[in-house]
Amino acid sequence: MHDDRTLVEARLDRVLRERIRPAVHPMTAPLDVEIWSTQGEPVPVAEGLTAPTGPIAEGTPWGSPWGTSWFKVTGTVPAEWAGRTVEAVLDLGFSPRTPGFQCEGLVYRPDGTPVKGLHPRNSYVRVGSPVAGGEQVHWHIEAASNPDLTADGAPFQPTRLGERDTAGEAPQYVLGAMRLAVFDETVWNLVMDLEVLGELMAELPVDGARRWEILRAVGRALDAVDLQDVNGTARAARDELAGVLAAPAVPAAHRISAIGHAHIDSAWLWPLRETVRKVARTASNMTALLEAEPEFVFAMSQAQQFAWLKEHRPEVWARVRKAVAEGRFVPVGGMWVESDTNMPGSEAMARQFVHGKRFFLEEFGIESEEAWLPDTFGFAAGLPQIIKAAGARRLLTQKISWSRTNSFPHHTFLWEGIDGSRIFTHFPPVDSYNCEMLGRQIGHAARNFKEKGVATRSLAPTGYGDGGGGTTREMVAKAARLRSLEGSAVVEWEPPAEFFAKAEAEYPNPSVWVGELYLELHRATLTSQAQTKRGNRRSESLLREAELWAATAAVRTGSPYPYEELDRIWKTVLLHQFHDILPGSSIAWVHREARETYARLAGELEGLITTAQQALAGEGSAELVFNGAPHTRAGVPAGGAAPAAGAVGAVPPVPREGGGYVLDNGLLRVEIDDRGLVVSAYDHTVGREAVAPGSAANLLQLHPDFPNQWDAWDVDAFYRNTGRDLVDVASLGVDGTAVRIERVFGESTVTQLLSVPDGVPRLDIDTEVDWHERERFLKLAFPLDVKADRYASETQFGHAFRPTHQNTSWEWAKFEACNHRFVHVDEPGWGVAIVNDATYGHDVTRTVRTADAGTTTTVRASLLRAPRYPDPETDQGVHRFRHALVPGAIGDAVREGYRANLPERRVTGAGRPVAPLVTVDQDAVVVSAVKLADDRSGDLVVRLYEAHGGRAFAAVSVAGAFAVDRAVPTDLLERPLADADPVATEESTVHLQLRPFQLVTLRFPRV
């Protein structure tokens, strides 16, 4: 037979586009449209419903950037449409280019009840089926003229649209057609049939019979369509397709569990307040779709987004609650937000699950067993243990498919963390968290699935996120046709928990991946928006102190424990760990508000700390030193207070021969040359030099930094090819007991204070940068005379190792990575840590001297960047950083990391020492939280972990606080562990054995 395949395919394409799709709405009637625009921020719904509107015609520009307009839409269903299905098609001025990222609306009835959202590819509102004719329609639309920051055709260009004050007033949209229309369901179904078959056909092998079978059926269907009367002939065309659509899937077909989904970033190219409305629109849409489509199931993550509905949109919340109770609107993830997981500290990562799971339990009685993080930029190796300790056991993410260098070898596997905890993990092979049920996506998922032969199932999160409105009726219609269709994977709507249960059952011994799930992309999110990073780190440290001192004051003095305040502040900090806020990838508006919020929280937390410490200190004029760190410091016990023994000083600098200064406290001798660089750091106790021969530490290095795309997110490997050392010194002198160094470069200045404290082998480096560079990357380098094949970076509840070499592409790709409070490199018995108070990004490289094969390791902290998208002014201004060079073992790195983030506090009072509530007799076992139980029973909750990476035996005592005969091991939610009995105490002391990096939560009853 002659090969006319491409002819038929091209015919299908044109006839669908030009004749059949337009016939879905064969008749239309105009609606009367009026508009009122707010001056500024959104108004309450009641105000919008009664606002004084004026007429607006199709084709009229409307909507200043970030404005809100209320449309009033009225009309009458023509009498001659009686018996037909009628809907309104409301085009606010949508561009078909993207499903979201532009204007959106929420349709209300006159009584203020929401109907559904309006989005570029979801702009209908059903009037009736069938209608009687003559019905009056009357709706209000709360329309947001959010500007399109994706910049069509030229992405990642600097734009002033990301901040209200700089966005201007120019209308962003032109009102499109606002009409009533007859909906021809038969034609719409013909469109769905032809799209599903056309898309499937394109995935099938050209030499396979099934492709040709479908092609011939499509040809017959197109023959059956009278192009002058599509509506009258659509049924006949469908009949021609019924046979090929009825052919069942083959037994070995891949099985896809589809779940309705809308990935809504809690802030990103819009401010937080707009996310509240995006969630309301999408949730309205999805509850409406659930009512219309009995097979459909929708999942939504992020307890915060549910909480926004509860607080701001009670009518939508009521609909969601009903659908949740029916098991069709499924809360997933059990986290407060879909957070970053690289940067949040131990407790914060734990609290993401505590607050998320607790919200779902309290509101819905639902316990999520899966972490749901489709879009997060890499996964820290501490996470598996945290997920398990929260009472969950599974993880879903898709993001690792974005890695640019290596293809991850599994889609379903066990992920093992630093302590040995393993969780069942699935990466949807559809490679999208916005699946549209397109044939190419379904075909890709089936082909891409790496567990073929040992497993058969994958998950497909299906729907438009970020203002696209979620799953569409078209996606549901396509899924129905793919339920069993020869040549395609099998698709079925299914809650994620059911997918996971089936996936686990069919694949009991999955492969194991050990260590972090590193995303080979978006590495600059560890550095961009430095003030947001600092705000997060500072908030985490202050929360630790606030809980510790408030609990101590409550137990010791009966002071009220600030449950409400801590709960609210925690949730705010957790919200800002969302994967576009803490990573620094949001618009200027978001980061300005984040800075303001962190400043407010710091004030509140300082207030809580002061109140508690004053209650503990009592009245008087004697000075007490409070130590909030987990290690004894200058004679003050961890978590306690002692009379001040005088200020801890620092050694005075003395002039250095040849220029510069020497700082020597008898433990560490630091030489700073006339360029202000550290050319020697000699550890007297072991007789070792820390700085690599011929090198200089505390070296600022400036690189060009213009990634190929994703400016705030990415730093590309070529940034290292060029750069310069900032060695010119503007001034060098002594400032008290510190050496002061000033440098000028570009438009910027940097001032550093270097000091060595009395009695501690540590070089403190305070850096202040007035940063006015564009598209540059500033690093602080420490070449160290240590030969290390791997280095340790602190992560949640421990540290993770990475190689210092680049033997493989996997190692090469980790050229920028995340640390918490320290990076440590060592040879057996001795090493050097670089600790910090607010930086996360770093790189570690090795250098071999050709003369003697001596190998040194260079640690560089990433200080600042200056990307121009999406915030064109990213990081401009003054920044402060504290770093320290600490010779010693891993335990010294752990201790000094805490110290750098938890400065001592001096409080005047009666002068009586405050004994700690909790003591631990072993430095390797670190207390990460001391608090009163969230259930307000007054029980004391203590979380601790093994921090050195070895086995530890520790006595944990509350004897100094109260008598107790048992401690109860709990999960993160402070619930007794099912598989662990209460531990008997001797004299209120528990003896524990901890595995390397094991975290333990203990509850001490106080009755």
The smaller minimum CB distance to Zn ion, of residues 375 and 827, is found at: 375
Q: How far is the CB of 358 from Zn ion (least distance, A)?
A: 23
CB 265, min distance to Zn ion, A: 4
> Whose Cβ is closer to Zn ion: residue 226's or residue 375's?
375
Beta strand ranges found along 261-393 (DSSP E): 298-300, 329-331, 370-372
Residue (375 or 770) nearer to Zn ion, CB: 375
Q: How far is the CB of 305 from Zn ion (least distance, A)?
A: 12
Residue placing its CB nearer to Zn ion in the complex, 150 or 751? 150
Closest chain position to Zn ion (CB):
375
Q: How far apart are CA 115 and CA 94, in angstroms?
A: 19
Q: Which stretch binds Zn ion (CB under 5 A): 218-226, 352-360, 373-381, 404-412?
A: 373-381
Q: What angle do CA 368, 373, 379 make, to 5 degrees?
A: 115
Q: Between 338 and 794, whose beta carbon lies closer to Zn ion?
A: 338
The neighbour count for residue 809, using CB atoms within 10 Å, is: 10
Restricting to residues 24-63, name those near Zn ion by CB under 5 A.
none
Q: What is the DSSP string of 223-282?
A: HH--TT-HHHHHHHHHHHHHHHHHSPPPTT--EEEEEE-----SSSSS-HHHHHHHHHHH
Binding segment for Zn ion among 375-383, 467-475, 509-517, 590-598 (CB under 5 A)?
375-383
Which range binds Zn ion by CB under 5 A, 261-269, 283-291, 859-867, 925-933?
261-269
Q: Which stretch binds Zn ion (CB under 5 A): 200-208, 363-371, 374-382, 762-770?
A: 374-382
Say which amino acid occupies 392.
Answer: A
Shortest distance, CB of residue 466 to Zn ion, whole angstroms? 8
Distances (CA, A) of 759 to 382, 450, 665, 961, 963: 34, 57, 7, 31, 37
Assign 92 to helix, strand or coil.
coil
Considering only the stretches 156-164, 173-181, 262-270, 299-307, report the one whose residues sit in contact with Zn ion under the rule CB under 5 A.
262-270
Q: Which is nearer to Zn ion, 265 or 347 (CB)?
A: 265
Closest CA to 998 of 819, 797, 800, 820: 797
Residue 265 interacting with Zn ion (CB under 5 A): yes
Least distance (Å) from Zn ion to the CB of residue 434?
10
* Cβ-Cβ contacts under 8 Å for 443 (sequence gap 6 or more): 200, 203, 488, 489
Binding string to Zn ion for residues 209 to 248, with x set by CB under 5 A, is what? ----------------------------------------
**Separation CA 728–CA 734 (nearest Å):** 18
Q: Show the tokens assigned to 115.
A: 């109907």
The span from the CA of 37 to the CA of 54, in Å, is 10
Q: Which of 522, 1003 has the CB closer to Zn ion?
A: 522
Closest CA to 862 of 883, 832, 836, 839: 839
User: How is residue 519 annotated by DSSP?
Assistant: -
Nearer to Zn ion, 101 or 1004 (CB): 101
Residue 142: which H helix or E strand, with range? Answer: strand 136-145
**Minimum distance from CB of 300 to Zn ion (Å)?**
14
Pairing outcome for strands 104-108 and 668-672: unpaired
Question: ∠ CA 301-335-259 to the nearest 5 degrees?
Answer: 25
Pairing of strands 370-372, 394-396: parallel
* Residue 576 beta carbon to Zn ion: minimum distance, rounded to whole angstroms: 15
State the minimum distance, in angstroms, from the CB of residue 441 to Zn ion.
19
Distance in angstroms between the alpha carbons of the first and the last residue of the chain: 88
Greatest alpha-carbon pair distance for the chain in Å reads: 103
What is the rounded distance in angstroms from the CA atom of residue 70 to the CA atom of residue 93?
A: 14
H/E element, 624: strand 622-627
Helical H segments across 558-703, by residue range: 563-575, 588-617
**Could you give the angle at the alpha carbon of 75 between the alpha carbons of 70 and 76, nearest 5°?**
160
Nearest-approach distance from CB 579 to Zn ion, in angstroms:
6
CB of 284 to Zn ion, least distance (A): 21
Closer residue to Zn ion in complex, CB, 434/836: 434
Binding Zn ion by CB under 5 A: which of 58, 375, 766, 770?
375
The residue among 296 and 433 lying less far from Zn ion, judged by its C-beta, is 433
- The tokens for 363 are 């509101």
The residue among 461 and 639 lying less far from Zn ion, judged by its C-beta, is 461
SS3 of residue 57 by DSSP: coil
The Cα-based distances of 661 to 657, 751, 767, 965 in angstroms read 8, 16, 18, 57
Decide whether 263 or 478 has the Cβ nearer to Zn ion: 263
For residue 375, indicate whether it is catalytic.
yes
Antiparallel, parallel or unpaired: β 173-174 and 61-62 = antiparallel
Specify the stretch interacting with Zn ion by CB under 5 A; choose among 110-118, 372-380, 655-663, 675-683: 372-380
Q: What is the dihedral of CA 55, 60, 61, 67, to 10 degrees?
A: 30
Beta carbon of residue 723, minimum distance to Zn ion (angstroms, whole number): 31
The catalytic residue among 32, 91, 226, 375 is 375
* Residues in contact with 625: Cβ distance below 8 Å, sequence separation at least 6, in sequence order: 634, 636, 641, 642, 643, 644, 645, 904, 905, 906
Contact region for Zn ion (CB under 5 A) — 230-238, 370-378, 391-399, 923-931? 370-378
Q: Which of 299, 320, 327 is nearest to 396 (CA)?
A: 299
Least distance to Zn ion, CB of residue 268, Å = 7
* Stretch in the footprint of Zn ion (CB under 5 A) among 259-267, 382-390, 397-405, 909-917: 259-267
In the complex, the smallest distance separating the C-beta of residue 517 from Zn ion, rounded to whole angstroms, is 16
CA dihedral 989, 994, 997, 1000 (to 10 degrees): -50
Q: Give CA 129 to chain center in angstroms.
A: 43
Tokens of 110: 């006159």
| Span near Zn ion by CB under 5 A; candidates 31-39, 236-244, 257-265, 741-749 | 257-265
Size of residue set near Zn ion by CB under 5 A: 2
C-beta separation of 551 from 561 below 8 A:
yes
Burial, 522: exposed, middle or buried (Cβ in 10 Å; 0-12, 13-18, 19+)?
A: buried
Per CB under 5 A, residues contacting Zn ion are 265, 375
Catalytic residue set = 375
